[in-house]
Amino acid sequence: MSSLRGKVAIVGAADTRVGKLPEFSATQLCVDAALRALADAGIGKDQVDGLVTCNSMAEPHMYHAEMIAEYLQIFPRYCMTASAGGGTAFAVLQHAASAIVTGVCDTVVVSMADSLRTGLTREQAMVMQSSAGHQQFETPFGPTVPAFYALIAQAHMAAYGTTPEQLAAVAVACRKHAARNPTAQMREPISVDDVLESRLIADPLHLLDCSLVSDGGSAIVLTSADRAGDFPHDPVYLLGVGEGHGHEHISQARSLTTSAAVDAGRRAYDMAGLQAKDIDVAGIYDCFTPVVLVELEDLGFCEKGEAGAFVADGGLDLDGSLPTNTHGGLMSHCHPGNPGSMYHLTECVAQLRRQAGDRQVADAEVALVHAQGGVMSSHCTLILGREV
């Protein structure tokens, strides 16, 4: 399948401030992100004829995309609210790109935001965390989201001898990158010992094995490759996209150590005509440390069981073989829920534009971003490049 390869480009990308932002509602953050991305693209809102958003947990609306369009006072030909958990940001790009290629619209803004840090009470957050499971086979036993991911960690450790120190190395690598990023929520360096000595959340996951809880928003502007040269920045082309869907509930997963990232990655590589060895920089979804290990293996960057050693040996570092989550990721930059993976995308756009400053990966030409929603349920991989 090659129908989308090189036919659309990201021509605008921007993030809002992140962290604890009580002065902004989730709606205001979504609008702010969209306006920032339009400014980055050098166009006005009246030039937008497509809008994609995801709904907010803190401030939901029945017709979220239409509400954001109303707020912006734009009247798009293409308007969609999507929901695929953390993978939403990447899955919708396939829809938006298809709309552009088929002539439904010309310029699409994808904008996502939420206020998980200040928009939910502690009780609301706990209800959200404890209601994610299967109502018959999981919820009655009381697990929260971290407990589901702890199952994945335990399975990987049992199958491959992965150690808590190797899991912790994921968090340490993300914090190294965040220390170079002035916009990151958490920038203080941490060690493997710091991770292992932090509060136990769900064995073997400690507090620092878990992603942040944040407010924030992020947006991109997408248009056809034919028009990409009309914008102020170097365009970033969509070379490949692929999805993979394995289950909804973790109790129904066919495997705890191999995910549908295998399918998503293969489809994206096939469309792009590339392989894992061709990737210069990556954004890998990192809601919990074991997720990164599974995804690195499933996406072909490591053999099964080898990701722990790969990360512990510095593979994700700026001078490693696969610089990953160079903005700090969900572990250290921010995690406002479903929009979280958008920051992996905007970071890779910055890398390919050569705009990443102190964390710039030298000569980066091709980037891969991958996200998953649910509990390793729905996966989507994007491959981006400076050239078609």
Calpha distance 17→218 (Å, rounded): 9
- Number of continuous H segments (helices) and E segments (strands) in the chain: 12, 11
Name 51's bridge partners: 79, 109
Look at 76-85, 101-110, 350-359 and tell me which has the smallest mean pLDDT: 76-85
The pLDDT tens digits of the residues spanning 30-49 come to: 999 999 999 999 999 999 99
**pLDDT exceeds cutoff 90 at 197:** yes
Alpha helices, DSSP H, located in the chain:
26-41, 64-72, 88-101, 122-130, 145-160, 164-178, 192-197, 261-272, 289-298, 307-312, 329-332, 340-353
Q: Return the beta strands (E) in 106-175 as ranges.
A: 107-115
Q: Which amino acid makes up residue 376?
A: M
The pLDDT of residue 126 is: 65
Counting beta carbons within 10 angstroms of the beta carbon of residue 353, is it exposed (0 to 12), middle (13 to 18) or buried (19 or more)?
A: middle
DSSP for 184-222? -S--S---HHHHHHSPEEETTEEGGGB----EEEEEEEE
The pLDDT of residue 84 is: 61
**pLDDT exceeds cutoff 60 at 112:** yes
The DSSP code for 361 is P
Q: What's the mean per-residue pLDDT of the chain?
A: 94
Per DSSP bridges, beta strands 366-373 and 200-202 are unpaired
The pLDDT of residue 128 is: 65
Calpha distance 231→45 (Å, rounded): 15
- Full set of structural domains in the chain with CATH: 8-120+214-236 (3.40.47.10), 142-213+241-385 (3.40.47.10)
Distances, alpha carbon 218 to alpha carbons 25, 134, 230, in Å? 14, 31, 23
The pLDDT of residue 127 is: 66
Share above pLDDT 70 across residues of the chain, in percent, rounded to a whole number: 97
Mean pLDDT along residues 55-72: 92
Q: Any idea which residue has 């102190």 for tokens?
A: 358
The pLDDT of residue 34 is: 98
pTM of the predicted model as reported, rounded to 2 decimal places? 0.95
**pLDDT exceeds cutoff 70 at 381:** yes
Counting beta carbons within 10 angstroms of the beta carbon of residue 258, is it exposed (0 to 12), middle (13 to 18) or buried (19 or more)?
A: middle
Mean pLDDT along residues 300-327: 98
Structure tokens at 374: 């649910």
The pLDDT of residue 1 is: 43
Calpha distance 70→49 (Å, rounded): 13
pLDDT band at 351 (very low <50, low <70, confident <90, very high): very high
The pLDDT tens digits of the residues spanning 209-257 come to: 999 999 999 999 999 999 999 999 999 999 999 999 998 888 899 999 9
**pLDDT exceeds cutoff 70 at 111:** yes
